[in-house]
Structure 1
Amino acid sequence: MKIALGSDHGGFKLKEEIKKYLEERGIPYQDFGTNSSESVDYPAFGMKVAEAVVAGECERGILCCGTGIGISISANKVPGIRCAVVTDTFSAQMSREHNNANILALGERVVGVGLALKIVEVWLETEFAGGRHEKRVNQIGDIEAKYRG
C-alpha cells in the first residue's frame, strides 16, 4: 500500500514524524509537501493528496495541518474522497470499518506525536467492513454525483 502524504506549515512537523514511522515499517509513500514550516495555504496540499488517491497513484492518504479540519475540507471537495479528521484510535478504526475513509487528517496542534502515530497505525491496519456499510458509502457517492454537475 502506497500512502500519499501532505501538510501545510501547521502540520509539517507531524508529517515528518509520520514519514519516519512509515519508513521504519517499510510502507511506501509519496510526499506532496509542504517541505518546511514556512507559511503556505493548506487547500493546495489537500487537493494534491486527494487527486493522487483518486487517480490510484496512492491507495490512501494522510494529511496534517494545525487542526486537521481545513485540509480535510479541501480534500473532501475532490469527488471520491472520504477524508476523516481523527483525534482518537476508535474513530480511526470506525472511519475505515464503517466509512471506508481513504484519507486520514490529523491536527498537529490537537494530538501529540505518540497518539498521532497510534492513530496512523490503527487506521492503516483497519480494513473496510463492507456489508451494510457499503450501501451507505455508495450513498455518499450518489450525493457527489448529484452535485458534480
Structure 2
Amino acid sequence: KNNLNDGELAYINTLRDTRLFPEAEYFVHIRNGKGGRERFSPILGDNKEKIIERMKNTSAEEKVFQHVPTNMDVHGYRGDYATLIYKSVARPINKIPYDKVNKGTGKKYQGDVYVCRKDERKKKLDRQAMYICSKALGHNRVSVVADNYIRGL
C-alpha cells in the first residue's frame, strides 16, 4: 500500500491522462472544471506559441485572460478544439480492425468505430480518437463529443 492520500491519488490519475497526448509539450491545468473535475488539456493549434508565451508572462496569482467577452462563442471554440484533436489522432476508418463478433449474426465488426446519431447520423468516427477528445474537453463519454463538438469532417 502506498502513502498517498485520496487527493494525491486523484491528481496522479489526472496526470496519467496526459499520456493520451504524446506529442504535446504544454498543457493547461484546469483545476475546477465541469463537475468540479480537474484535468490537463494540451495546448494546440496555430496560436500555441502565443498562448504559451502569455501563460509564461502571467504570475500564478493572475488570470491568464483578465476579461472574456460575453458574446464570445466558447462552445464554438471548444468544437474547433475538439475537431483539431480528433483530426490529429484519428485513424482512417478503413484501417480500424474488425475485432469484435456480433453474437447474433456471427459477423465481425469494428469495435472502435462509433456511428453517429442525430444530425450527423451514420457518420463513422474513430472511437479512440473521440475518447481522447472527451478527456481534453472534460467529458468522459464519446457520445457527448460526437453529438456536440466534432463537426465538419
TM range (shorter): under 0.3
Structure with max Cα Rg: 2
TM-score under structure 2 length normalisation = 0.22
TM-score under structure 1 length normalisation = 0.23
Query: In proportion to residue count, which structure has more helix?
Result: 1
